Structure 1
Amino acid sequence: MLKETFTKLLTKYTDDDRLTNILWTEIEKNYTDKKRHYHTLQHLDNLYSQLTIVKEEIKNWETILFTLYYHDIIYHATKSDNEEKSAELAEKRMMEISVSKEIIEHCKKQILATKWHHNSIDSDTNYFTDADLSILGQDWDTYQLYYKNVRKEYAIYPAFIYNPGRKKVLNHFLSMDRIFKTNFFYNKFEEQAKQNLQRELDSL
């Protein structure tokens, strides 16, 4: 589904099948890197499923799709500029297929928004960042698998370094008035997300 959707997306911009395959292979290679345990193609698939539900509310579906495929294309647990690097690569690749400057800039802003997940004046961005956080509001078994996979991605760090950092992240979300900006995702996931976050925090 992910490959087919990406291929269809690019047909508007290029009829070069070879280039399309090169761009998809790059995405696939990065998201299947052996060091990744959560930021994988499965994460993209979940995002796509969540966003498809609210597709009628999204103003620019093409931009959302480009953001989906490129928002985590660069991901190194030891780096703090993953979003910036991902946005840079997205811009480079989209320029190669002559995507409009407007879509490119919008996509970059959406990618950068996943760094902090703050409320945006752009509703599409809020839908995207909410979908990106939807894992927080899944059932406990799914959430538990998520945070264990995140821990694997940060395996380079011992517990005495990782745990305080993770606690900071959890407390950040728990201190928010609303984790989810859109009413749809708020009503669907907020309560369960708060419960999951607190339960993980209590376990550390």
Structure 2
Amino acid sequence: MLKETFTTLAGKYTADLALTAQLWHFIEGRYTGKGRHYHTLTHLENLLLELQSCESHVADMDSVLFALFYHDVIYKSTAKDNEEKSANTAVLALSGIGFPQEKIEKCSAIILATKSHALSPDNDTNLFTDTDLSILGSNWEEYSVYFKNVRKEYSIYPDFMYNPGRKKVLLHFLEMEHIFKTEFFRDKYEKKARENLRREIEIL
């Protein structure tokens, strides 16, 4: 599903099938790389399903979809600039296929927004960051798999270092007036997400 979606999307802007295949190969290789446990192709598949569920609310689906494919393309748990590097990677790739400049800038801005998940004046950005957090509102079994996989990505750190940092992140979300920025996702996941976050904090 992902490869087909990306190929169709890129095909709207370039007829160079070899280039499209090369771009997909790079994306696939990154998301299946060693050390990835949560930020994988499965994560992208889940986000795609969430985006499809709210497609009627999205103004610029192509920019949002490219943001999906590139938002975690560069990921290292110990790095502080994953989003910036991912955005830069997207800019280079999308420039190469002739994606319009204003759309490239929007795609880049969406990727950068996943760093803080702050409220944006752009509704598409809010919808995307909400899909990125949708796992927080899943059932407890899925949520447990999620936080255990995140822990694996930070396996370099012992519990006494990891747990306080993880707790700080969870409390950050709980202290927000709304975890989800859009009414669509707030209605769908807000209550369950808060329950899951509190439950994980109790475990830490």
- Using the size of structure 1 for normalisation, the TM-score is 0.99
Aligned partner of 1:176 in structure 2 is 176
Aligned partner of 2:36 in structure 1 is 36
Question: Equivalent residues in 2 for 1:114-153 (5 A)?
Answer: 114-153=114-153
Question: Equivalent residues in 2 for 1:39-78 (5 A)?
Answer: 39-78=39-78
TM-superposition CA deviations, 1:44-89 (whole Å, max 9, x none): 0000000101101100000011000000000000101000000000
SS of equivalent residue, structure 1 residue 201: helix
TM-superposition CA deviations, 1:144-198 (whole Å, max 9, x none): 0000000000000111110110010011011111000111100110000000000
| Aligned residue pairs, count | 204
Aligned partner of 1:17 in structure 2 is 17
Q: Which ranges of 4 or more aligned residues in structure 1 deviate by more than 2 Å?
A: none
Q: Percent identity?
A: 56
Aligned partner of 2:81 in structure 1 is 81
Deviation at 1:14, TM superposition (A): 1.1
Q: Hey, what's the Cα distance between the residues in 2 that align with 1:48 and 1:131?
A: 9
Q: Hey, what's the Cα distance between the residues in 1 that align with 2:195 and 2:10?
A: 40
**Structural RMSD (CA):** 0.5
Deviation at 1:15, TM superposition (A): 1.1
Q: Hey, what's the Cα distance between the residues in 2 that align with 1:170 and 1:193?
A: 10
* Structure 2 unaligned residues grouped into runs of 5+: none
Deviation at 1:98, TM superposition (A): 1.3
* Structure 1 unaligned residues grouped into runs of 5+: none
Q: Hey, what's the Cα distance between the residues in 2 that align with 1:9 and 1:79?
A: 30
Q: Hey, what's the Cα distance between the residues in 2 that align with 1:101 and 1:19?
A: 19
